[in-house]
């Protein structure tokens, strides 16, 4: 997708249609993959592009866990988790999704400092502490 966007920008800048060879197209895609790979190794990129990072991390964690079966409603849960983990102080969800997003391998709570809860009492205590600290 990044290679396509760069190609469209190059065509716009050139003022004409550009027709890369299959080899040039493959090289462009590879450069974009490497750029994104190395960019996401930097902490500031994870923060600036946190929705992309969180969504990709949830997807990877889901695929990595062979015991967890994907359900159609998971798509919506993952979208909610991505938004909450990116922009909120707390995310309240079910235990399986909490376990998925808080795994040490991906540590999604640390990106925006969003705490994840599946226990209602723990969540209520945390929210109360947040309100009292304001």
Q: Count of alpha carbons within 13 Å of 93, Cβ hemisphere only?
A: 24
**Whole-number pLDDT of residue 72:** 87
**Whole-number pLDDT of residue 16:** 93
**Whole-number pLDDT of residue 1:** 84
54 and 14, same domain (yes or no): no
51 and 13, same domain (yes or no): no
100 and 124, same domain (yes or no): yes
Tally of domains within the chain: 2
Low-confidence ranges of the chain (pLDDT < 50): none
111 and 83, same domain (yes or no): yes
Alpha helices in 15-117 (DSSP H): 22-39, 43-48, 50-64, 74-87, 95-101, 109-112
Domain extent for 18: 1-39
87 and 59, same domain (yes or no): yes
Tokens representing residue 62 in the block:
């889901």
What element of type H or E holds 13?
helix 2-14
Cα angle at 88 between 77 and 106, to 5 degrees?
A: 60
35 and 54, same domain (yes or no): no
């Amino acid at each position: 997708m990044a290679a396509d966007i760069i190609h469209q920008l190059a065509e716009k800048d050139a003022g004409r249609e550009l027709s890369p060879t299959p080899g040039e197209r493959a090289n462009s895609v590879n450069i974009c993959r490497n750029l994104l790979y190395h960019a996401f190794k930097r902490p500031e990129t994870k923060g600036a592009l946190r929705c992309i990072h969180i969504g990709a991390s949830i997807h990877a964690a889901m695929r990595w866990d062979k015991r967890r079966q994907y359900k159609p409603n998971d798509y919506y849960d993952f979208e909610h988790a991505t938004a909450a983990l990116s922009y909120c102080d707390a995310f309240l969800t079910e235990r399986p999704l909490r376990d998925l997003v808080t795994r040490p391998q991906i540590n999604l709570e640390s990106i925006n400092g969003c705490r994840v809860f599946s226990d209602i009492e723990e969540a209520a205590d945390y929210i109360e502490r947040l309100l009292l600290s304001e």
